[in-house]
C-alpha cells in the first residue's frame, strides 16, 4: 500500500491516507452427509482501495479501507451417479474494512 500523511509529531494526532490493491484467492469444498455429492468452488478477486488511518494522542487508532473488486467464481458439482455440473459467475463487489485499536 502506498501511504502519504500528515503528523503533528509533538501533538496528539496523526492521519494517514493510503492507496493500494487487494487480491484474494478463495477455495471451498463441501460434501453431503451421505458422501454422495460434492461441490468445489474457486474464486479470485482483485481491485484498488483507498484507506485512512487516524491515531489519537493516548493511542486510540482507527483505520478504514474502501475499494471495488472484480470477483470471479467457478463451481463444479459431482455425484456418485456420474452427473457433473459446472457454473461460472463474475461481478463487481464493494470492499469495506474497518479497524479500531489501541497503539502503545
Single out the residue of 10, 1, 15 nearest to residue 61, CA to CA.
15
Contact predicate 90/43, CB 8 Å: no
- pLDDT at residue 74 in the model: 95
Structural domain for 92, as ranges: 2-102
Tens digit of pLDDT for each residue in 89-101?
999 999 888 989 8
Assign 3-class secondary structure to the chain: CEEEEEECCCCCEEEEEEEEEEEEEEEEEEECCCCCEEEEEEEEEEEEEEEEEEEECCCEEEEEEEEEEEEEEEEEEEECCCCEEEEEEEEEEEEEEEEEEECC
Number of domains comprising the chain: 1
* pLDDT digits 0-9 by tens, 18-70: 788 888 899 999 988 777 889 999 999 999 988 887 777 677 888 888 999 99
Amino acid at each position: 500500500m502506498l501511504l502519504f500523511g500528515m503528523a503533528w509529531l509533538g501533538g496528539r494526532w496523526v492521519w494517514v491516507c493510503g492507496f493500494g490493491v487487494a487480491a484474494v484467492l478463495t477455495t471451498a469444498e463441501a460434501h453431503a452427509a451421505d458422501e454422495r455429492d460434492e461441490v468445489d468452488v474457486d474464486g479470485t478477486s482483485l481491485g484498488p482501495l483507498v484507506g485512512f488511518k487516524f491515531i489519537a494522542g493516548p493511542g486510540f487508532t482507527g483505520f478504514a479501507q474502501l475499494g471495488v473488486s472484480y470477483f470471479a467464481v467457478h463451481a463444479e458439482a459431482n455425484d456418485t451417479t456420474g452427473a457433473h455440473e459446472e457454473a461460472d459467475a463474475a461481478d463487481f463487489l464493494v470492499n469495506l474494512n474497518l479497524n479500531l485499536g489501541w497503539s502503545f
